[in-house]
Amino acid sequence: MSTSLSARARQKLRKLLKGRFLEARKDLLAYAFDASGLTYLPEAVAVPANAAEVAAILKLANEENFPVIPRGAGTATTGAPLAVAGGLVLSLLGLNRILEINPDDLVAVVEPGVFNGTFKRELAERGLFYPPDPASYEFSTLGGNVATCAGGPKGLKYGVTKDYVLGLEVVLPTGEIVFCGRRTMKGVVGYDLVSLIVGSEGTLGVITKMVLKLLPKPPATASLAVYFERITQAAEGFLALVKGGLLPAAAELLDAVTLQAVARFFPKDWPEKTRALL
């Protein structure tokens, strides 16, 4: 692999990050894959601890002309956080603080390396709730969720990540640190730059801080399983539920083929004529 990280760039990164600039192959291997199954070994990995270090890295990347690939926990199934063309992987796991949880304003300020599951548990202790729940929420970061606009089963009732991002601190490719958005529920003045950044997967800038909207924790939750002899009955039943004004937090539909697969690993505890489970 031809290198794009010059000796001068490496020296500056070593000085900036000290032991948080990784070059040894054994260290780089941990950043060479994601959940896609693809593998691309980066030339080096930077683990900044704050926005100022991120800004310095991006400014240097412009000066020395090397690619930077932002990375969260590496749970993507697309290869997005991989150094496909070489360059520097920018791990944001070092920015991992919950800076503020405000139960009065129903907002929180967090850094991108905070894990979604960790955040949910902190909120639950305070009677608060952050709905976005991608399948990987226990081991994916909030920064990664925002960068990909992650959704989840609760999107049915509560929406997806973009519906809970009020403001963002972003380091632009030039190294400038900017804040866009607000800390209030209502915000209708000016350009909606937050919506532009959410889901942009690091192509427009690196997110270093997020202001997130919270909700009061639901007083109770319950799960209900309904069995149907035809899949069309399941679809009709769900539509009747929604039209009747009962919108569940989440809904899953298992067809006959899926139920057969489940029965190979778990006891079959549904009626014999079941062809769909809602």
Of 170, 185, 216, which one is at a domain's C-terminal end?
216
Q: Give a yes or no: residue 54 inside a domain.
A: yes
Q: Give a yes or no: residue 65 inside a domain.
A: yes
Between CA 137 and CA 115 the distance in angstroms is 7
**Number of domains within the chain:** 3
Residues 200, 102 share a domain: yes
Q: Give a yes or no: residue 221 inside a domain.
A: no
pLDDT at 43 over 60: yes
pLDDT at 80 over 80: yes
Query: How many C-alpha atoms does 214 have within 13 Å on its Cβ side?
Result: 24
Residues 181, 103 share a domain: yes
Residue from 69, 46, 78, 38 nearest 202 by CA: 69
Between CA 31 and CA 2 the distance in angstroms is 18
Residues 269, 203 share a domain: no
Q: Give a yes or no: residue 1 inside a domain.
A: no
pLDDT band, residue 49 (cuts 50/70/90): very high
pLDDT at 190 over 90: no
Q: Give a yes or no: residue 84 inside a domain.
A: yes
Q: Give a yes or no: residue 2 inside a domain.
A: no
pLDDT at 228 over 90: yes
Q: Which residue has the higher pLDDT, 236 or 185?
A: 236
Q: Helix, strand, coil shares of the chain as percentages rounded to 5? A: 30, 20, 50
Residues 204, 142 share a domain: yes
Q: Specify whether the CB–CB gap between 4 and 10 falls below 8 A.
A: no
CATH number of residue 36's parent domain: 3.30.43.10
Residues 209, 108 share a domain: yes
User: What backbone phi and psi angles, to 5 degrees, belong to 267?
Assistant: -55, 135
Query: How many C-alpha atoms does 33 have within 13 Å on its Cβ side?
Result: 7
Q: Give a yes or no: residue 222 inside a domain.
A: no
pLDDT band, residue 2 (cuts 50/70/90): very low
Residues 209, 102 share a domain: yes
Q: Report percent pLDDT > 70 for the chain.
A: 99
State the average pLDDT for the chain.
95
pLDDT tens digits for 87-105?
Answer: 999 999 999 999 999 999 9
The domain of 183 spans 98-216
Residues 248, 207 share a domain: no
Q: What is the pLDDT, as a whole number, of residue 116?
A: 98
Between CA 39 and CA 215 the distance in angstroms is 39
pLDDT at 222 over 90: yes
Residues 171, 249 share a domain: no
Residues 104, 86 share a domain: no
pLDDT at 4 over 90: no
Q: Give a yes or no: residue 199 inside a domain.
A: yes
Using DSSP's 3-state secondary structure scheme, residue 116 falls into helix
Of 44, 70, 91, which one is at a domain's C-terminal end?
91
Task: Determine the length of the chain.
Answer: 278
* Beta-ladder partners of 212: 108, 165
Among positive and negative, which fits the CA dihedral 44, 50, 55, 60?
negative
pLDDT band, residue 1 (cuts 50/70/90): very low
**What pTM was computed for the model?**
0.92
Residues 117, 73 share a domain: no
pLDDT at 66 over 50: yes
Residues 78, 104 share a domain: no
Element containing residue 170 per DSSP (H, E): strand 165-171
Q: Report percent pLDDT > 90 for the chain.
A: 94
Mean pLDDT value across residues 41-64: 98
Residues 149, 105 share a domain: yes
Alpha helices in 19-115 (DSSP H): 25-28, 51-64
pLDDT at 184 over 60: yes
Q: What is the pLDDT, as a whole number, of residue 3?
A: 61
Element containing residue 122 per DSSP (H, E): helix 116-124
Of 56, 91, 126, which one is at a domain's C-terminal end?
91
